[in-house]
């Protein structure tokens, strides 16, 4: 029931989700108006692995109205997909940044290490730890407590920026966003048609197609940037408020809830003692 798009009010976000996962979407992007549900057909050789996505599946707009808003349905669906990606019984217990922090030099995960001298715990590059001192220079000195405080401060700053930018009715459809998404979907469709036409093409047609694809791809990149900028400026106030509430009472928030807040805001952190780069989800 949680995975079935029959219940979702299918809008352009739903269209993008299934399209990006490799599903064959029968309807045009303009048909995803945020009212009707969808039918999802599973092909004989289809798969739902993290690598293969929804290749072999078909999505089509259904005649009935959906019941669940797209943001709620997609949040639930993404959480289920993320859960699938982390099997096993290992559970973080030492730091709420576990799994998020990577070595800024080699990209390997950073391990929580207790200090035998009784000093503060620290992070250590897993590759350096496992393969020897010559495999990676290491991340330098990163004290866990100090680093956690630094990331907390960055999350507070990020949410403060969003709360300044947000306003108005979050449930109201943004017509500019809708227009940009429709235009982006049309550009993607044009690129797909050109690629399909290249089979058996002569040199003249190949030259024309390549030039046209480059032109369309440049337009696609411009549209994606405009959409990303607009999404930042129209972040749901409810979402920002709920996370901000946790950050305000951080000292009283449970370990697991802290992990949920971090997972909702941050994709990964590349860190050394000299620099920190945060990849935000929002």
Query: Using H for helix, E for strand and C for coil, what is the string for 94-148?
Result: CCCCCCCEEECCCCCEEEEECCCCCCCCEEEEHHHHHHCCCCCCCCCCCEHHHHH
pLDDT of 60 above 70: yes
pLDDT bucket at 6, cuts 50 / 70 / 90: very high
Reduce the DSSP state of residue 67 to 3 states and report it: coil
Contacts of 234 (CB under 8 A, 6+ apart): 165, 166, 170, 174, 177
pLDDT bucket at 235, cuts 50 / 70 / 90: low
- Mind listing the pLDDT tens digit for each residue in 62-120? 989 999 999 889 888 887 776 644 444 446 678 999 888 999 988 888 989 987 776 78
Report the DSSP beta bridge partners of residue 148: none
Torsion angles phi and psi, residue 95, rounded to 5: -145, 140
More confident residue, 22 or 52: 22
Contact 54, 14 (CB under 8 A): no
DSSP-derived secondary structure for 146-206:
HHHHHHHHHHHHHHHHHHHH--S-TTS--HHHHHHHHHHHHHHHHHHHHHHTTTT--HHHH
pLDDT of 167 above 50: no
């Amino acid at each position: 029931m949680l995975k079935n798009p029959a219940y979702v009010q299918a809008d352009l976000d739903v269209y993008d989700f299934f399209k990006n996962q490799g599903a064959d979407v029968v309807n045009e992007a303009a048909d995803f108006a945020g009212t009707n549900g969808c039918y999802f057909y599973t092909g004989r050789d289809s798969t739902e692995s993290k690598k293969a996505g929804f290749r072999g599946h078909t999505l089509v707009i259904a005649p009935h109205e959906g019941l669940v808003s797209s943001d709620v349905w997609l949040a639930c669906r993404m959480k289920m997909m993320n859960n699938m990606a982390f099997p096993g019984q290992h559970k973080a217990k030492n730091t709420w940044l576990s799994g998020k922090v990577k070595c800024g030099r080699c990209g390997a995960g950073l391990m929580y290490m207790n200090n035998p001298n009784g000093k503060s715990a620290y992070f250590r590059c897993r590759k350096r730890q496992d393969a020897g001192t010559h495999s990676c220079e290491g991340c330098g000195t990163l004290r866990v407590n100090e680093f956690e405080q630094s990331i907390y401060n960055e999350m507070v700053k990020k949410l403060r920026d969003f709360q300044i930018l947000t306003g108005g009715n979050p449930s109201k459809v943004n017509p500019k966003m809708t227009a940009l998404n429709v235009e982006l979907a049309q550009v993607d469709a044009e690129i797909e048609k050109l690629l399909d036409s290249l089979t058996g093409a002569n040199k003249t047609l190949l030259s024309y197609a390549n030039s046209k694809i480059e032109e369309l791809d440049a337009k696609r990149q411009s549209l994606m940037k405009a959409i990303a900028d607009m999404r930042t400026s129209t972040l749901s106030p409810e979402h920002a408020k709920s996370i901000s509430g946790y950050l305000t009472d951080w000292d009283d928030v449970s370990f697991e809830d802290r992990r949920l807040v971090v997972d909702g805001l941050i994709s990964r952190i590349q860190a050394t003692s000299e620099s920190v780069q945060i990849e935000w989800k929002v």
